[in-house]
Amino acid sequence: MTETATTTTDHSLYPPPPTTATTTASTTHDIEMMHQLPNISSEPTNGVGHNGEAASSSSNSSNSSTTSGASLNEEPLQEHSSTLQEQSLTNYSATTTNNIMNLQPTDMEMKKAQSVPAEKSGEYIIGGADDDSEEAYVPKYKSDSPPLQLEWKDLTYKVKLPLTAPPNFSLPQKIGFKLKNGFKKKEKDILHPMSGFVSPGSTLAIMGPSGAGKTSLLNILAQRVKETSGDITVNGMKIGSSFRSLSAFVQQDDVLMGNLSVRETLRYAALLRLPKTISWKEKMERVESIMDELGLLKSANTKVGTPGLSKGISGGERKRLSIAIELLTQPSILFLDEPTSGLDAATAYSVMKTIIKIAKGGRAVILTIHQPRSNIYELFDKLLLLARGKVAYFGPAKDATQYFAEIGYPCPKQYNPADHFIDLITESTSDTDEGKKLKQEDNDRIEKILNHYKHIETAPSTSHLETDIKKAKYNANWFTQFFVVMARAFVNILRDKILTFSRLFQNVVMALLVGLIFLQIGHDQQSVQDRNGVLFFCLINQSMNSIFGSLAVFLLEEKKVFLRERGSKMYQVSAYYLGKSVSELPNIVFFPILFGTIVYWMTNLNAGADRFFIFLLILVSMALAAQALGMVLAVLAPSMEFATAIAPVLLTVLMLFGGLYMNVDNIPPYFIWIYWLSIFHFGYEAMVLNEFAGASFECPPSPAVCTYRTGEDVIARNAMDKPYANIWVDLGFLWAYFLIYRLMAYLILVFFVRPKKK
């Protein structure tokens, strides 16, 4: 009987788990390494991929793992296991001595990588072995998770949709319809009762036209949607909480951090997803083995890149990298949503060959695919054809052509079977007279096909499979999650040269511009207005930089990564949020200090050293509060376009009540609450108190009126001479708002920012 992932380790690849004492020492050592300063001088290259630039990469001890002629169930040789146990951490010395932030390959890994052949057009090379050979494939990296057979019976899925008025209704009729029906909803059947199964070592392709229910079924089987009826079992047992830890889901879009290399992406994922009972060395070995298995060694040190923004690996390599991330936990069942979407023919075939090999390693693979080429279709073991949420065919893929021929729909010679099946169950959408006639013919044909289908194939017996399925806790502890997320985010920020340079350029240029416009302000009566303007502009500039910086960083890249990783349960939200927040602090603190230092001395603000440092403290505090507010907007906004439309409106309102345009004595009572919510109010008040307290100004010759003799006159004119007006009180409010906004963003992230249920 196969043991579960919690108790079994494949000793043909990994040494036996360390003892408790060894584990504790190893974990402590890893945590200590995290505190080292990062060495980020060696950056990933823009290597083999669509840009055509070469990159060196590596191989690791996976080259000495299970040979291609070994049986999947064969016990590992003791000598082989002993050899692996005797290997030292030498290969990873460059990694472990610098810390978790520097996951660069060692010299030995670089040398090994040179012997691995690159990808070729039209064929796929893995670990130096030709993919198209007739020799039976035995994976070098096999799962030690229990083989699982997934079966579903009478599965249905319904959603509730709001009632809509008929399209021929006039506007008054539509309004009346809405008033009458209110918030009533109607149920829509997405999936009608259906049954099926997928066994270990086989691949099930779910096909059908758009709207047939392919993705809905995949999400339900993967337990990403639970509001269903029917039975889903694993090895004959009802599905439980352990299922998510023994399965993996690869979404359609390859959401990756563009500034990390392929190897770094996998190593960070391994540190997040694998438990502390697995040593650092074993985690790194697993990464190298999976890269070897999926043909990623040649591009191991290539920057992943961001499509449309920066060069990186090819589309096929991105897809295999997404798959590799999920394989780290040795899942028994792998779900893939449209794995060939957006790929050219040769790349799509290469990716599918990889997926088939994964299945042959003892995993059950379920994927959705819209309309594959004939050479891809021939790779599938089983086919589930859906139309209108119903099953049109379920059974061996090779028998589908004969099945449809027997019911009167033979596939033409030299025609792609997949195209033929999709054509049969796709309805015309034309509204012309001829189109309506075709639509009726299509409808009759589809109904005939659906009515003819009868579920006749039954799942094989699971008596030989494990039934005591235990939960595999493939999660690092919270402390490790926090440090890994922080390190990864910090490296990603430093590697983003465009963003870093633009921030540096903007702050320096704007500071010099303000400094030249208000160069060496004097101490006459006119200088008071200039000083007020400089102080308020500094607050506006740094606040806008912080808010829009939060929106850009989270919405353009990190939100998608967070949703994917949260869906895979890679970390706790608290560990992610705190790690991300800490990684952003250097930028939030550095740029206000740089900007403020240039402006302060060029404009001749209050020359006291203590006043200068308090000025910087206020500017940094304001930037922190604004960045936290920006984070609230970022987690609330559904898109960057929405956020950039809302943010200026919010900022304008807060600035109007900031104290420069209107002091507190003139604010209408019904708007006073906005004054107390405005971070500009506290920042500007602190700036004014710091700049003008104790200052003196030159008065014009008599008989001109001298409005401001001292700084206290300026403070009183701004209505900032209240008993509660104090620099440290204002700073306290800014920090309080920083914490409140940060907490709000966290709670929104926990309860509302989740992977969408399709």
Apex 739 CA angle, 733 and 744, nearest 5: 120
CB 295 within 8 A of CB 126: yes
* Residue written as token pair 């003819």: 452
CB 663 within 8 A of CB 718: yes
- Segment 420-449, tens digit of pLDDT: 999 999 987 766 667 677 888 889 999 999
Residue 703, preceding bond cis, omega within 30 degrees?
Answer: yes
Q: Which residue has the higher pLDDT, 133 or 574?
A: 574
The H or E element spanning position 387 is strand 382-387
Instruction: Give the CA count within 13 Å in the CB-facing half-sphere of 327.
Output: 31
Interval 106-130 mean pLDDT: 41
- What's the pLDDT at 168? 78
Q: Per DSSP, what are the bridge partners of residue 160?
A: 187
Under the banding of pLDDT at 50, 70 and 90, the label for residue 470 is low
Most confident of 121-130, 328-337, 474-483: 328-337
Name the nearest CA neighbour of 591 among 501, 655, 678: 501
Q: Per DSSP, what are the bridge partners of residue 393?
A: 385
- Segment 140-177, tens digit of pLDDT: 545 567 889 999 999 999 988 877 777 778 878 777 77
- What's the pLDDT at 102? 54
Name the nearest CA neighbour of 286 among 99, 23, 135, 474: 474
Apex 118 CA angle, 112 and 122, nearest 5: 155
Q: Mean pLDDT for the chain?
A: 80
- Segment 733-756, tens digit of pLDDT: 999 999 999 999 999 999 998 877
Apex 107 CA angle, 103 and 109, nearest 5: 70
Q: Per DSSP, what are the bridge partners of residue 155?
A: 194
- What's the pLDDT at 242? 75
3-state secondary structure 715-749: HHHCCCCCCCCCHHHHHHHHHHHHHHHHHHHHHHH
* Residue written as token pair 């399209």: 167
Whether 40 has a pLDDT exceeding 60, the answer reads: no
DSSP character at residue 257: -
* CA pair distance 462, 236, nearest whole angstrom: 6
- Segment 376-420, tens digit of pLDDT: 999 999 999 999 999 999 999 999 999 999 999 999 999 999 999
Under the banding of pLDDT at 50, 70 and 90, the label for residue 622 is very high
Report the predicted TM-score, pTM, of the whole model to 2 decimal places.
0.77
Most confident of 117-126, 183-192, 256-265: 256-265
Give one word for 14, left, alpha or beta, with left for phi > 0 and alpha for psi -120 to 50. beta
* Residue written as token pair 């920057």: 303
Give one word for 99, left, alpha or beta, with left for phi > 0 and alpha for psi -120 to 50. left
Name the nearest CA neighbour of 405 among 413, 387, 196: 413
- Segment 67-105, tens digit of pLDDT: 333 333 333 333 333 333 334 333 433 343 344 555 655
- What's the pLDDT at 181? 73
- For residue 648, the tally of other CB atoms under 10 A from its CB is 12
* CA pair distance 137, 127, nearest whole angstrom: 12
Whether 317 has a pLDDT exceeding 90, the answer reads: yes
- Segment 267-286, tens digit of pLDDT: 999 999 988 888 999 999 99
* CA pair distance 206, 337, nearest whole angstrom: 10
- Segment 577-618, tens digit of pLDDT: 999 999 999 999 999 999 999 999 999 999 889 999 999 999
Alpha-carbon Rg for the chain, nearest whole angstrom, is: 32
* CA pair distance 191, 156, nearest whole angstrom: 5
CB 264 within 8 A of CB 304: no
- What's the pLDDT at 553? 85
Q: Per DSSP, what are the bridge partners of residue 158?
A: 189
Burial (Cβ within 10 Å: 0-12, 13-18, ≥19) of residue 400: buried
* CA pair distance 312, 218, nearest whole angstrom: 30
CB 486 within 8 A of CB 583: yes
- Segment 374-384, tens digit of pLDDT: 999 999 999 99
Give percent of the chain above pLDDT 70: 77
CB 678 within 8 A of CB 667: no
Strand stretches in 105-170, DSSP E? 125-126, 129-130, 150-162
Alpha-carbon distances of 412 from 116, 371, 403, 404, 406, rounded to whole Å: 42, 17, 14, 11, 14
- What's the pLDDT at 556? 81
What is the secondary structure of 474-523 as a DSSP string? ----HHHHHHHHHHHHHHHHHH-HHHHHHHHHHHHHHHHHHHHHTTT--S
Whether 681 has a pLDDT exceeding 50, the answer reads: yes
DSSP character at residue 156: E
Name the nearest CA neighbour of 329 among 248, 240, 219: 248
Residue 16 is encoded by which pair of tokens? 């036996």
* CA pair distance 516, 496, nearest whole angstrom: 30
Q: Are strands 333-337 and 228-234 parallel, antiparallel or unpaired?
A: unpaired
- What's the pLDDT at 94? 38
* CA pair distance 131, 119, nearest whole angstrom: 11
Tally of residues, the chain: 758
Under the banding of pLDDT at 50, 70 and 90, the label for residue 19 is very low
Q: Are strands 203-207 and 382-387 parallel, antiparallel or unpaired?
A: parallel
What is the secondary structure of 157-221 as a DSSP string? EEEEEE----TT--HHHHHHHHHHHTT-EEEEEEEEEEEEEE-TT-EEEEE-STTSSHHHHHHHH
Under the banding of pLDDT at 50, 70 and 90, the label for residue 732 is very high
- What's the pLDDT at 85? 37
- What's the pLDDT at 465? 59
